[in-house]
A = this chain, B = another copy of it.
Amino acid sequence: MLWAQIAAMSEHVMICEVGPRDGLQMAKSRMETGAKCDWIAALAKAGVKEIEVGSFVPAKLIPQMADTEAVVRFAKEIPGLVVVALAPNLRGAQAAVAAGAHRVSIPVSVSEGHSRANLNRAPDEQVAVVGQIVEWMESAGNPAEIEVACSTAFGCSIDGVVPEREVVRIAAALAETGVEQIGLADTVGYANPAQIKSVVRAVRREIGPALRGLHLHDTMGLGLANALAGLEVGIRDFDAALAGLGGCPFAPGASGNIVTEDLVFMLESMGFGTGIDLAALIAARRLLHEGLPAEPMHGQVAKAGIPRTYRQAA
């Protein structure tokens, strides 16, 4: 069978590029707005369908995100691109909608320690904030989708082990608010593949198809193994960052997101479709490097080159 035939039959996996948000918030220097926009445009041109382009947080806390409104306004003009913006509260969600974001992503930490460090609120208080945002969004005629990312769902560098039952409890409370897209985030990269499967199954038993994606970090080198585990229990939505940028300023020890290029390589090699042109994606690293020359870039496929066997069926 030819690869073109396999690709036509293949199941689609959605990759949301989070580099412009989760990647840049940890960068030591600030990327200029024009460079961000060029990079986002190149990602979209490579076939990336969803990009988390920034976050509506106080500029004094995360200066790298001060230009998010301008970036959203740029990105929403790119045809076919779903523009996602993070917002930690109602004010941020309203700003995201005013700028034209198609989807607002709200973080809710499962662990108390990370929740207080990141949001200065207890987990259940943040669930109530999500409820406010859902209500406001409905009253405004649903101008954007809402998704919630359950942070520290697989462990916390502040609180340590995060019990599975606590993840299930928070996910259930979120589903109660009416949020229809709930993801699980391994914020600090402590997850292992067995845990991924166990937590995904437990959460899905409770909230069903409202469980959507996984957000994984490669702190311990297990990022793609954890993605594979997620795939094997039916997850078809993953966050990733070009060159493995990322981390969390309020989660000590966390390192980069899983590398978008390597994830695309894995998925396409396994016969899944991502709609992403791997060579064009790798080429977009140049723009990232030009915009942030001091930032280390990760990723094995970009280093080794796309092998000649890529997408050739055996």
| A residues in contact (CB < 8 Å) with B | 155, 157, 160-164, 188-190, 192-195, 218-222, 224-225, 227-229, 232, 253, 255, 259, 262, 265-266, 269-271, 299-301, 303-305, 307-309, 312-314
Contact = CB atoms under 8 A, between A and B. Distances in A.
A197 to B, nearest CB: 10
Contacts of A270: 192-195
B262 A221 contact: yes
Contacts of A155: 307, 309
Q: How many copies does the complex hold?
A: 2
Contact of A190 (B192, B229, B309): B309
A154 to B, nearest CB: 9
Contact of A266 (B160, B161, B193): B193
Contacts of A157: 307-308
A164 B309 CA distance: 14
A220 B189 contact: no
A288 to B, nearest CB: 17
Classify the interface of chain A: helix, strand, loop or mixed.
loop
Contacts of A190: 307, 309
A120 to B, nearest CB: 23
10 nearest A-B pairs in the assembled complex, by CB-CB distance: A221-B300, A192-B269, A221-B262, A194-B270, A224-B225, A225-B225, A225-B228, A155-B309, A219-B304, A161-B312
A221 B312 contact: no
Contacts of A222: 224, 262, 265-266, 269, 300
Nearest to A255: B304
B262 A304 contact: no
Given A225-B225, A305-B253, A262 B220 contact: yes
A190 B314 CA distance: 12
Given A194-B270, A229-B228, A266-B193, A221 B259 contact: yes
A303 to B, nearest CB: 8
A220 B304 contact: yes
Most B-side CB within 10 Å, residue of A224, A232, A262 = A224
Contacts of A189: 304
B253 A163 contact: no
A106 B299 CA distance: 32
A224 B164 CA distance: 24
A300 B269 contact: no
Contacts of A262: 220-222
Most chain-B CB neighbours within 10 Å: which of A155, A218, A266, A309? A309
Nearest to A167: B314
A214 B294 CA distance: 38
23 contacts: A157-B308, A160-B308, A161-B313, A161-B314, A163-B314, A190-B307, A192-B266, A194-B270, A195-B270, A219-B300, A219-B304, A220-B304, A221-B259, A221-B265, A221-B299, A222-B265, A222-B269, A224-B224, A224-B225, A225-B225, A225-B228, A253-B307, A255-B303
